[in-house]
């Protein structure tokens, strides 16, 4: 029975097909950024901050996306500081309720930035590679394994300090370009290593966010580099930028990213129009109001709205708040499944 086959698509195939703009049996529930929460940490006894640097704990916590939550993907890189730590940035690794952050300043100019020859052998990067290898072994035939390599703009925040770097973009634009050119090599290196370890696709967060950086800045500093990264990293890529980004989506669309993980501050239908189906939109369930403070019904409602608007890759808009209730997170894949288990035509929503 054709219908039955369509409804038994493997999660991995569903994610990759949706990301390629191909037909899927139902929208994929996907986590391009972290969905680790305190309750998931407690369930499998794999907690922050140890889970950021211990491959076994990282693996155990990451696989809960599939085993406990029911997403179609697993993504083990919970923080945004792994490769910055490997570069030598000072990191406060936080605790169970707080994310790691880079503190201090590693460089004042491009010439200060050196990518160590053993950057992929440092504990913070090696742990990610070991975890992806193990996740691929455990789940890789069935579930999409997503890696994460930070873009040069975010790396520059960590290396220079966010405020310093943003000032540089005004005072020393050439120095900014030189710095991004150095840092993008780490994006490629870490991305390729994760592909070699078994990642099916990569999230590439590069926080040129709406409130910090204008659309013109995106075009001036990042569009060309992002285009180059899409050419050089040989797997499907999802760009992640938080905040209001509709004003830069036409530039993002032209880079070659397979997907763009976008924030609920953006209108879904308008965003889809801008993307013209050349780059798939991924997201954009609201974190603070809906997933963190809202009810299961509110999550269901928002998932249905997103699907009705035309999204085929559904998930939280950004890294999930660590105190998010598990039932709200579970409501994302549950709603998709509930709405697509009857014998309706695939893709027709709630029926």
Nearer to Zn ion by C-beta: 28 or 208?
Answer: 208
Nearer to Zn ion by C-beta: 86 or 318?
Answer: 318
Nearer to Zn ion by C-beta: 99 or 165?
Answer: 99
d(CA 271, CA 243): 13
| Residues 6+ positions from 111 with CB-CB distance below 8 Å | none
Q: Which residues of 324-351 are buried (b: 16+ CB within 10 A; e: fewer)?
A: bbbebbbbbbbbbeebbeeeeeeeeeee
- 318, 324, 329, 336: which one binds Zn ion (CB under 5 A): 318
Closest C-alpha among 249, 312, 260, 324 to residue 286: 324
**Paired sense of beta strands 201-205 and 144-148, if any:** parallel
d(CA 160, CA 294): 37
- 242, 268, 313, 320: which one binds Zn ion (CB under 5 A): 242
* Smallest gap from residue 240 Cβ to Zn ion (A): 6
Options 9-17, 41-49, 98-106, 316-324: segment touching Zn ion (CB under 5 A): 316-324
Nearer to Zn ion by C-beta: 139 or 260?
Answer: 260
d(CA 347, CA 30): 17
* Smallest gap from residue 145 Cβ to Zn ion (A): 20
Q: Residue count at the site for Zn ion (CB under 5 A)?
A: 2
| Residues 6+ positions from 98 with CB-CB distance below 8 Å | 48, 322
* Smallest gap from residue 33 Cβ to Zn ion (A): 6
Q: How many residues make up the chain in this entry? A: 351
* Smallest gap from residue 284 Cβ to Zn ion (A): 11
Nearer to Zn ion by C-beta: 40 or 319?
Answer: 319
Nearer to Zn ion by C-beta: 207 or 340?
Answer: 207
Any contact of residue 239 with Zn ion (CB under 5 A)?
no
Residues lying near Zn ion in the complex (CB under 5 A) are found at 242, 318
């Amino acid at each position: 029975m054709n219908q039955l086959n369509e409804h038994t698509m493997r999660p991995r195939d569903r994610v990759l097909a949706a990301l390629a703009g191909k037909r899927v049996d139902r929208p994929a529930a996907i986590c391009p950024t972290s969905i680790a929460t305190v309750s998931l940490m407690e369930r499998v006894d794999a907690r922050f901050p140890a889970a950021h640097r211990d491959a076994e704990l990282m693996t155990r916590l990451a696989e809960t996306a599939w085993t406990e939550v029911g997403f179609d993907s697993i993504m083990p890189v919970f923080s945004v500081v792994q490769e910055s730590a490997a570069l030598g940035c000072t990191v406060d690794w936080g605790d169970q309720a707080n994310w790691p952050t880079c503190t201090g300043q590693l460089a004042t100019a491009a010439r200060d930035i050196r990518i160590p020859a053993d950057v992929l052998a440092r504990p913070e990067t090696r742990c990610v590679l070991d975890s992806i290898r193990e996740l691929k072994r455990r789940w890789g035939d069935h579930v999409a394994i997503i890696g994460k390599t930070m873009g040069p703009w975010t790396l520059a925040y960590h290396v220079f300090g966010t405020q310093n770097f943003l000032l540089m973009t005004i005072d020393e634009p050439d120095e900014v370009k030189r710095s991004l050119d150095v840092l993008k090599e780490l994006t490629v290196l870490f991305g390729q290593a994760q592909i070699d370890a078994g990642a099916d696709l990569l999230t590439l967060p590069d926080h040129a966010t709406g409130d910090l950086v204008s659309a013109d800045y995106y075009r001036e500093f990042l569009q060309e580099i992002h285009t180059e990264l899409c050419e050089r990293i040989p797997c499907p890529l999802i760009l992640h930028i938080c905040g209001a980004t509709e004003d830069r989506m036409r530039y993002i669309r032209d880079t070659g990213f397979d997907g763009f993980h976008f924030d609920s501050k953006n209108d879904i239908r308008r965003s889809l129009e801008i993307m013209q189906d050349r780059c798939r939109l991924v997201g954009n369930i609201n974190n603070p109001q809906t997933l963190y403070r809202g009810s299961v019904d509110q999550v269901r409602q928002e998932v249905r709205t997103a699907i009705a608007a035309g999204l085929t890759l559904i998930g939280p808009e950004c890294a999930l708040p660590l105190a998010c209730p598990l039932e709200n997170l579970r409501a994302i894949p549950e709603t998709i499944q509930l709405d697509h288990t009857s014998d309706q035509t695939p893709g027709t929503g709630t029926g």
